[in-house]
């Protein structure tokens, strides 16, 4: 069973702080790494899909980097806002098509 | 364009009963998956499909069956419900490995 680890489990920051989370995954048989944002009482929404070592993706104040050789990805949020409060999930595709395995997520709370 | 539609939204079953959770998508996505969400466990993959007629087991397949007779539909069958299957179930679909998944709104199942 593939293991996808996310840290920290939870994070409390003040509005305006910048923050980052880590996703670790197996470095062999890499195909793609996904990031999702999951707000309470809603469904997960895709943020980024990253496939190449060294990939950097950006959407507004949120960005992500990928290192497939060492098996990690970082998600950065610049100038956190209360509306950024959510659980951020990463998911790993390894080898088998369709077999997308999720980490347990990092729960971010941003205080005004 | 309805996206991914799951029914029912809520269900209470007695131990030993069987039922089918429905999932339909209207985006012509080849990939469809079922996940369950439990506290502290994140999203765990139950079964997935990469096209009509093709299904495979995920991390936690025991007690569940799936079939994919059309591109649009991917029902999940609970054969004999157990209290351990109390969970929130999410269906998701995508064009491919390199594209983000679209999630349904979830089915909250309680087995008593």
As a three-state string, the secondary structure of chain B is: CCCEEEECCEEEECCCCCEEEEEEECCCCCEEEEEEEECCCEEEEEEEEEECCEEEECCCCCCEEECCCCCCECCEEECCCCHHHCEEEEEEEECCCCCCCEECCCEEEEEC
- As a whole number of angstroms, the distance between CA A111 and CA A100 comes to 32
Residues of A in contact with B103 (CB under 8 A): 43-45
Residue of B33, B42, B106 with shortest CB distance to A100? B33
- pLDDT higher than 80, residue A2: no
Residue A1 has a pLDDT of 60
* Structure-model confidence comparison of residues A107 and A93, the more confident one: A107
Residue of B44, B97, B103 with shortest CB distance to A93? B97
Binary contact (B59, A100; C-beta < 8 A):
no
3-state secondary structure of A37: strand
Residues of B in contact with A36 (CB under 8 A): 100-101
- As a whole number of angstroms, the distance between CA A76 and CA A81 comes to 13
Residue B97 has a pLDDT of 80
B39 close to A (CB below 8 A): no
Average pLDDT per run of 10 along chain B, which is 112 residues long?
A: 91 97 97 94 93 94 97 97 97 91 97 97
Q: Which residues contact A93 (CB under 8 A, 6 or more apart)?
A: A30, A31, A32, A33, A34, A99, A100, A101, B97
Lowest mean pLDDT among A26-30, A66-70, A94-98: A94-98
Query: Taking the alpha carbons of A92, A94, A99, A104 in that order, is the dihedral positive or negative?
Result: negative
The half-sphere exposure of B91 on its side-chain side, counting CA atoms within 13 A, is: 26
Residues of A in contact with B58 (CB under 8 A): 99
Binary contact (B48, A103; C-beta < 8 A):
no
The CB density around residue A14, as the number of other CB atoms within 10 Å, is 9
Chain B interface, best mutation among A59, A98, A107, by max B CB count within 10 A: A98
List, for residues A43-78, the tens digit of each pLDDT value. 999 999 999 999 999 999 999 999 999 999 999 999
Residues pairing with A46 in the sheet: A36
Nearest CA distance, B16 vs chain A (angstrom): 29
- pLDDT higher than 80, residue A8: yes
Residue B17 has a pLDDT of 97
Residue A97 has a pLDDT of 77
Residue A98 has a pLDDT of 81
- pLDDT higher than 90, residue A95: no
């Amino acid at each position: 069973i593939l293991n996808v680890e996310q840290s920290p489990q939870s994070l409390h920051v003040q509005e305006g702080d910048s923050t980052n989370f880590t996703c670790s995954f197996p470095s062999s048989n890499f195909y793609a790494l996904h990031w999702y944002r999951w707000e309470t009482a809603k469904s997960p929404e895709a943020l980024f899909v990253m496939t190449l070592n060294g990939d950097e993706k950006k959407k507004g104040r949120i960005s992500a980097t990928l290192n497939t050789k060492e098996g990690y990805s970082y998600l950065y949020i610049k100038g956190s806002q209360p509306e950024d409060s959510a659980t951020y999930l990463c998911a790993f595709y390894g080898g088998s098509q369709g077999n997308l395995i999720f980490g347990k997520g990092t729960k971010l709370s941003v205080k005004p | 364009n309805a996206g991914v539609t799951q029914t029912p939204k809520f269900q209470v079953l007695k131990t030993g009963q069987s039922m089918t959770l429905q999932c339909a998508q209207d985006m012509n996505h080849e990939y469809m998956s079922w996940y369950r969400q439990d506290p502290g466990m994140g999203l765990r993959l139950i079964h997935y499909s990469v096209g009509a007629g093709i299904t495979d087991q995920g991390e936690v397949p025991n007690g569940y069956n799936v079939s994919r007779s059309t591109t649009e539909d991917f029902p999940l069958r609970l054969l004999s419900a157990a209290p351990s299957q109390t969970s929130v179930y999410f269906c998701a679909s995508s064009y491919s490995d390199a594209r983000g998944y679209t999630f349904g709104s979830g089915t909250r199942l309680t087995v008593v």
